[in-house]
Amino acid sequence: MKKRVGILISGRGSNMRSLIAAASLPGFPVEIVLVISNAINAEGLQHASAAGVATKVVSHKAYETREAFDRAVTHELEAAGVEIVCLAGFMRILSTWFARHWEGRLLNIHPSLLPLFKGVHVHEQALAAGVRVSGCTVHFVVPELDAGPIIAQAAVPVAIDDTPDTLASRILVEEHKLYPAALKLVAEGRVRLEDGRTVFSKG
C-alpha cells in the first residue's frame, strides 16, 4: 500500500518536482496526493496541477497566529488522507504544535550538512567558514529549527572559486536525488523517529 504524501511549498517547488517525478516511477512506495502553498502565485502549483496532483492555497495572511495557520494546513492535509508531509521550499517557521502533531511523519530538506549552517543564507555561511565540503540533509522536523534527527545526507565538494549561486546550484542537483531516496526509506518503514533519534531497520 502506497503512503499518501502531502507537500508544502512557497515558490517554484523544485524539490517538489523531484518528489512528484519519483512517485510516478513503478514501485515507488508513495502517492503524492496534495500540494499546499501559502502563496497564491507559487510557481510550483502549476507544475503540480499539470502532473495531476491536487493543489490548495492556504494563505497565512488569513490567520492571526502561526498555530491557527498550521491547524488550517493540517485540516487540509488530513482531509486528503495525508500520512507523511514533505516541506519543499516552504518559507514558514512552523509552530511547535505542527511539529509535534506530525512528529515522525514530517520531513524537510536543508542545503547544508547539518548540524552545520542552519537557517538562511546557508551557502554564504559555508563559503565564509572556508569549508571544503558542503551538501544537503533530509531530516525529521522537530520544533527547533533545522535541528531534527538526520535521515540522509549527500556531500558536495566546495570549489575555491565557488560563489553562493554556483555552490547552491551544484547542491540542488544532489537535493533532487536525496529527497526522494530519503522519502522512500521513511515510506517503507526502514527509517523512523524514535525517542528523538533516527532509527534504521536492518535489511
Catalytic, 47? Answer: no
Task: State how far the Cα of 114 lies from the Cα of 100, in Å rounded to an integer.
Answer: 21
Residue linked to cell 493543489: 55
* Catalytic hit among 47, 110, 123, 176: 110
Task: State how far the Cα of 190 lies from the Cα of 182, in Å rounded to an integer.
Answer: 10
Which residues, including other chains, have CB under 8 Å from residue 23's CB and lie 6 or more apart?
Answer: 5, 30, 31, 32, 180
- What phi, psi does 90 have (nearest 5°)? -90, 105
Active site (catalytic) residues: 110
